[in-house]
Amino acid sequence: MAYDEGLAHRLGESLGDLPDLGTKKMFGSLVFMWRGNMLVGVLNSDLIARVGPEAQADALAQPGARVFDFTGRPMNGWVVVDGEAVAEDEALEDWIARCREFVEALPPK
């Protein structure tokens, strides 16, 4: 299944003012890159969220969140959020803020 273009569009609209923002298609998903670091993405109809290792437990406690194990091995610092859990703009903005907080602290690539 291809990634949800509607969710990708909403992410692009929300992230549009970030400098050094780009996108990359990877493994059937679309990932938004900020200053060369992966920030968020869309896999099927779900949001891929890079929250960082220290915020992962809290992120997993949120509605619709689960471990990101795309390759069969859990990815530390990442969660997948069910698309229905980010159907409302406020929920999507909250996830974007979580991801920006972590990625903003990373050095640019």
Report the alpha-carbon distance of residue 80 to residue 3 in Å, rounded. Answer: 13
Average pLDDT, the chain: 95
Dihedral sign computed on CA atoms, order 61, 64, 78, 18: negative
Contact in structure between 76 and 52 (CB atoms under 8 Å): no
| Model confidence pLDDT, tens digit, residues 32-49 | 999 999 999 999 999 999
Q: With 60 as the cut, is the pLDDT of residue 1 above it?
A: no
Question: Which residue's entry shows tokens 């992962």?
Answer: 56
Q: Which domains does the chain have, with CATH numbers?
A: 3-103 (3.90.1150.30)
- 15-19, 34-38, 45-49, 57-61: least confident range: 15-19
Q: Model-level pTM?
A: 0.94
Question: Which residue's entry shows tokens 């003012």?
Answer: 17
In sequence order, what E strands does 46-96 have? Answer: 46-50, 65-67, 78-81
- Identify the pLDDT of residue 71: 80
